[in-house]
């Protein structure tokens, strides 16, 4: 219903733009309107594409117009580099997470580069001493992620406080229960993504960091910091669960890794000819 309303609204806007029934508009007028949205109104690519889809449905599907103009709106969303935290900023944010039941999952999200949805759905059977099994990750794919030994020990301590038979991070219920461990022990659902996101936002504010930080920022930071430590792209691709390594190469734009090593090799090449 909402999609249908949005489509009708987009057709109504072109009618208001020209002040006439849209079925009487010419191909040239519709094309000019689309260019107007892009260059004058400066609508976002996704919004413009939705408008073009609405107009295409109206003129091509409903009115049978065989116009060759819809490619005028082929627009790609701008590729923006993601926000990345420094190691110091990451440490400060985690240190400022108020509750222990939120701090450990947020720390794990960074230490293993997990997506928020992957994190909250971790079960007892997914955790091994040196790795985590991600079941049915993005694209319905499974993968293993290395788990630092100290992080494993922290997870064991965390679980022993609640001993939920299924979830590593069970929900403690709404609000602030008097006995969170007891509530977590009997919970049949995992911790809510919104609860962790809120805890993260509060920690970012308390740490005095002005960057726009989300749960996914921790994943971006994990990838960038590993590259800086010398982990190769192929290995990082496997850790992150990227289907295409081109997605992983994004992080090469976020780290100075390799510059010093590269300059050293250049100097060596120069010496070979002397």
Q: What is the pLDDT of residues 218-274, one digit of tens each?
A: 999 999 998 888 888 888 888 998 888 888 888 877 766 444 554 554 555 445 444
Confidence of residue 187 (pLDDT cuts 50, 70, 90): very high
242 is a catalytic site residue: yes
Longest Cα pair distance anywhere in the chain, in angstroms? 78
Neighbour count for residue 39 (Cβ, 10 Å):
9
Cα–Cα dist 223/178, whole Å: 38
Q: Which is catalytic among the residues 219, 220, 222, 239?
A: 219
Q: Which is catalytic among the residues 10, 107, 162, 242?
A: 242
Confidence of residue 76 (pLDDT cuts 50, 70, 90): low
Question: What is the pLDDT, as a whole number, of residue 178?
Answer: 81
Name the residue with higher pLDDT: 101 or 71.
Answer: 101
Contact 95, 200 (CB under 8 A): no
* Cα dist from 20 to 13, 15, 32, 253, whole Å: 11, 5, 15, 49
162 is a catalytic site residue: no
Confidence of residue 81 (pLDDT cuts 50, 70, 90): confident
Q: Which is catalytic among the residues 33, 222, 239, 251?
A: 251
Angle 131-132-136 from CA coordinates, rounded to 5°: 145
138 is a catalytic site residue: yes
3-state DSSP call for residue 132?
strand
pTM: 0.67
Q: Which is catalytic among the residues 115, 121, 162, 225?
A: 115
Q: Which CATH superfamily is domain 87-253 in?
A: Intergrase catalytic core (1.10.443.10)
What is the arithmetic mean of pLDDT over 150-159?
Answer: 96
Q: Which is catalytic among the residues 138, 143, 161, 206?
A: 138
Average pLDDT of the chain is 85
161 is a catalytic site residue: no
Q: What is the pLDDT of residues 43-61, one digit of tens each?
A: 877 788 888 888 888 888 8
163 is a catalytic site residue: no
Question: What is the pLDDT, as a whole number, of residue 256?
Answer: 61
Cα–Cα dist 200/219, whole Å: 13
Question: What is the pLDDT, as a whole number, of residue 216?
Answer: 93
Which tokens belong to 38? 């892009």
Residues of the chain with CATH 1.10.443.10: 87-253
Question: What is the pLDDT, as a whole number, of residue 242?
Answer: 87
Q: Which is catalytic among the residues 216, 234, 253, 265?
A: 216
219 is a catalytic site residue: yes
């Amino acid at each position: 219903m909402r999609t249908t309303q949005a489509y009708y609204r987009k057709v109504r806007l072109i009618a208001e733009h020209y002040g006439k029934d849209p079925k009487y508009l010419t191909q040239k007028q519709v094309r000019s309107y689309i260019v107007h949205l892009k260059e004058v109104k400066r609508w976002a690519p996704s919004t413009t594409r939705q408008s073009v889809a609405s107009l295409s449905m109206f003129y091509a599907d409903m009115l049978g117009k065989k116009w060759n103009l819809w490619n005028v709106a082929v627009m790609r969303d701008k590729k923006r580099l993601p926000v990345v935290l420094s190691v110091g900023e990451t440490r400060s944010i985690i240190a400022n997470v108020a509750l222990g039941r939120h701090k450990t999952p947020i720390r794990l999200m960074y230490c293993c580069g997990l997506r928020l949805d992957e994190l909250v759905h971790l079960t007892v059977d997914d955790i091994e001493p040196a790795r985590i099994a991600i079941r049915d990750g993005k694209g319905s794919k499974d993968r293993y992620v290395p788990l630092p030994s100290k992080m494993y020990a922290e997870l064991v301590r965390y679980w022993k406080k609640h001993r939920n038979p299924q979830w590593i991070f069970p929900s403690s219920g709404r609000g602030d229960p008097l006995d969170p461990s007891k509530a977590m022990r009997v919970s049949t659902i995992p911790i809510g993504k919104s609860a962790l996101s809120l805890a993260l936002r509060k920690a970012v504010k308390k740490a005095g960091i002005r960057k726009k930080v989300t749960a996914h920022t921790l994943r971006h930071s994990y990838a960038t910091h590993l590259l800086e430590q010398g982990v190769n792209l192929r290995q990082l691709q496997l850790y992150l669960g990227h289907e295409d390594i081109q997605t992983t190469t994004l992080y090469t734009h976020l780290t100075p890794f390799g510059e010093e090593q590269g300059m050293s090799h250049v100097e060596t090449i120069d010496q070979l000819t002397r």
